[in-house]
């Protein structure tokens, strides 16, 4: 996911109270008499799982089921709609047995054919920007009766259970989702904890309990209203006015700092903090006359001051990142620091001079104005300031709304652009594989056979995912030398909520996706 530190820590969040002398809390109000209203700046790009490899997963997790999932506290896939396991020693045959009595929210039967249909259509439709890229190791799917699904893989892939646990592999009704085209009636038919009762694009989604649900989620409320905000400013204002109960995704550093303070406007509010797995990075287009030169990319890596960036723009809500694999994940290194060290203009100047590159190098940096929060524009302003101040670069900034921005980079129009990544699943593979190969999530081909044909296949033979560090450390060395991507920072995650709202410390799964069913009201005594 553009998506995505220590994921083990994601399930053990630290709650920071904004009230002095808060009382102890009583037993949870498990009945959830009214809906919880959650605000976010990340609206779905589509309602059809076959077309989304982005923040749309937030909604999917709450209305669809997957064969496996990541319940709070788990960093390995656990049963959801099925019990699954590899049935061979080489991690090439993966079998799932559906639980009894599963149905869709409309009462339709959820069987093995429905699962096969759901995943086959992802590959057949192959939507631009969709999740088909996650299924590169899948050869074919076989079914045996109503309950058994067998996935035959082209090569060993110990990460396949993690892929099945992503919301991209949501199980959909064959009667409502065509096999060769996207569903576009604005509705959802799933088997998850909630039913989508109403949806206004970019405005809100109304969820109520699914009466047919049979899964692991322990729903602590009767329903959720998700409100979509264009800016974090309006979202936080709604929280302070008590118009919404909680917020997730999109808080700026300034807003987090403000919410920590004991101001009258913050009375009755709380902030829940977790170490996040989301990362931000720059992408360089190899076809651009300037960005295509490795000396230019290395010079930028030599000049960028991550410490200053996170201090000025993110004020302690992020930390510098020197590896595409964040802290807490096997394969994390400090390769970019080890290779380039502290920011050094003189070293950057020598790199450009030795390569015969004339200065200042003129580049345009592109960013999305409405995807990663309001701090994105100040972040790029700081990057421009640093690079321009070196005298080696002359940077122009351009911002566009996400859909236009996405269309532009997919067409290869941008020389340099900023992206964010939230984890599809908690494994180092997911921070390397999506960005390499002829076809990748960045739409900028990055063919590196040593990674795609040697290191990744070798690592995928290892079922113990903690034992794959060596392969990913080597991949990091290659990435550090090529500088096709430049990691910038690793974020922290925050849930801001009314003090009466409990469950925020359990609401984020290891994919940093909000599990709405954990949120509920409580009373003080």
Of 25-34, 471-480, 514-523, the range with the lowest mean pLDDT is 25-34
Q: Which helix (H) or strand (E) holds 478?
A: helix 469-482
Q: How does strand 68-69 pair with strand 78-79?
A: antiparallel
Phi/psi region, residue 243 (left: phi>0; alpha: psi -120 to 50; beta: rest), is alpha
Q: Which of 392, 284, 299, 391 is nearest to 340 (CA)?
A: 299
Per residue in 491-525, pLDDT tens? 888 899 999 999 998 898 767 789 999 999 986 53
Question: What is the arithmetic mean of pLDDT over 52-72?
Answer: 92
State the average pLDDT for the chain. Answer: 89
Q: Is residue 18 within 8 Å of 266, Cβ to Cβ? A: yes
Q: Is residue 503 within 8 Å of 3, Cβ to Cβ? A: no
Letter string b/e over residues 20-53, b meaning 16 or more CB atoms within 10 A of that residue's CB: eeeeeeeeebeebeeebbbbbbbbbbbbbbbbbb
- Give the 3-state secondary structure of residue 106: coil
Check pLDDT > 90 for residue 59: yes
Nearest-10 crossing angle of helices 376-389, 294-303: 100
- 25 CB-side CA count, 13 A: 13
Q: Is residue 86 within 8 Å of 93, Cβ to Cβ? A: yes
Q: Where are the beta strands (DSSP E) in 11-106?
A: 14-17, 36-40, 68-69, 78-79, 82-86, 93-98
| Number of helices followed by number of strands (H, E) in the chain | 15, 20
In the chain, the percentage of residues whose pLDDT exceeds 90 is: 73
pLDDT at 523: 64
Bond preceding residue 360 cis, omega within 30 of 0: yes
Of 35-39, 109-113, 180-184, 250-254, the range with the lowest mean pLDDT is 250-254
pLDDT at 9: 34
Per residue in 220-250, pLDDT tens? 999 999 999 988 899 999 999 999 999 988 7
Of 29-38, 105-114, 151-160, 406-415, the range with the lowest mean pLDDT is 29-38
CA 388 to chain centre: 31
Q: How far apart are CA 382 and CA 376, in angstroms?
A: 10
Per residue in 365-379, pLDDT tens? 999 998 887 789 999
pLDDT at 329: 79
Q: How far apart are CA 300 and CA 281, in angstroms?
A: 12
């Amino acid at each position: 996911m553009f998506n995505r530190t220590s994921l083990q820590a994601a399930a053990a969040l630290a709650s920071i109270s904004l009230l002095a002398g808060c009382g102890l809390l009583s037993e949870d109000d498990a009945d959830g008499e009214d809906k919880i209203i959650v605000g976010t700046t990340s609206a779905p790009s589509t309602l059809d799982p076959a077309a989304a490899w982005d923040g749309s997963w937030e909604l999917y997790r709450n209305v669809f089921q997957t064969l496996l999932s990541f319940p709070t506290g788990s960093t390995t896939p656990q049963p959801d709609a099925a019990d699954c396991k590899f049935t061979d020693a080489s991690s090439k045959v993966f079998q799932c047995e559906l639980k009894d009595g599963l149905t869709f929210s409309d009462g339709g039967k959820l069987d093995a054919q429905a699962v096969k249909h759901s995943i086959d259509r992802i590959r057949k439709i192959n939507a631009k920007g969709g999740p088909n890229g996650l299924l590169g190791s899948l050869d074919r799917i076989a079914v045996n009766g109503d309950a058994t699904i067998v996935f035959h893989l082209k090569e060993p892939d110990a990460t396949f259970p993690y892929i099945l646990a992503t919301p991209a592999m949501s199980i959909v009704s064959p009667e409502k989702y065509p096999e060769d085209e996207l569903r576009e009636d604005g509705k959802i038919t799933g088997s998850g904890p909630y039913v989508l009762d109403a949806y206004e694009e970019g405005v809100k989604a109304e969820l109520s309990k699914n009466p047919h649900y049979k899964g692991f989620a322990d729903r602590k409320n009767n329903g959720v209203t998700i409100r979509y905000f264009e800016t974090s400013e309006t979202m936080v204002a709604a929280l302070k006015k008590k118009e919404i109960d909680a917020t997730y995704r999109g808080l700026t550093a300034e807003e987090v700092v403000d919410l920590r303070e004991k101001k009258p406007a913050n009375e009755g509010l709380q902030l829940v903090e977790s170490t996040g797995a989301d990362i931000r990075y720059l992408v360089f287009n190899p076809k651009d006359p300037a960005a295509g030169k490795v000396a230019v990319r290395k010079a930028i890596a030599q000049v960028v001051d991550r410490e200053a960036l996170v201090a000025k723009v993110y004020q302690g809500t992020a930390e510098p990142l020197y590896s595409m694999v964040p802290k807490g994940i096997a394969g994390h290194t400090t390769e970019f620091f080890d290779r380039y060290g502290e920011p050094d203009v003189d070293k950057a100047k020598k790199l450009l001079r030795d390569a015969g590159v004339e200065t200042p190098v003129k580049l345009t940096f592109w960013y999305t104005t409405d995807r990663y929060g309001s701090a994105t524009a100040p972040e790029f302003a700081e990057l421009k300031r640093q690079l321009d101040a070196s005298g080696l670069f002359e940077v122009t900034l351009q911002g566009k709304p996400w859909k236009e921005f996405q269309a532009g980079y997919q067409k290869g129009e941008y020389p340099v652009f900023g992206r964010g990544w939230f984890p599809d699943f908690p494994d180092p593979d997911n921070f390397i594989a999506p960005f390499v190969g002829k076809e990748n999530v960045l739409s900028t081909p990055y063919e590196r056979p040593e990674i795609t044909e040697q290191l990744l296949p070798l690592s995928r033979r290892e079922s113990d995912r903690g034992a794959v560090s060596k392969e990913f450390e080597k991949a990091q060395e290659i990435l550090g030398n090529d500088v096709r991507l430049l990691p910038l920072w690793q974020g922290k995650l925050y849930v801001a909520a009314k003090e009466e709202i409990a469950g925020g410390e359990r609401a984020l799964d290891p994919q940093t996706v909000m599990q709405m069913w954990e949120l509920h009201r409580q009373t003080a005594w």
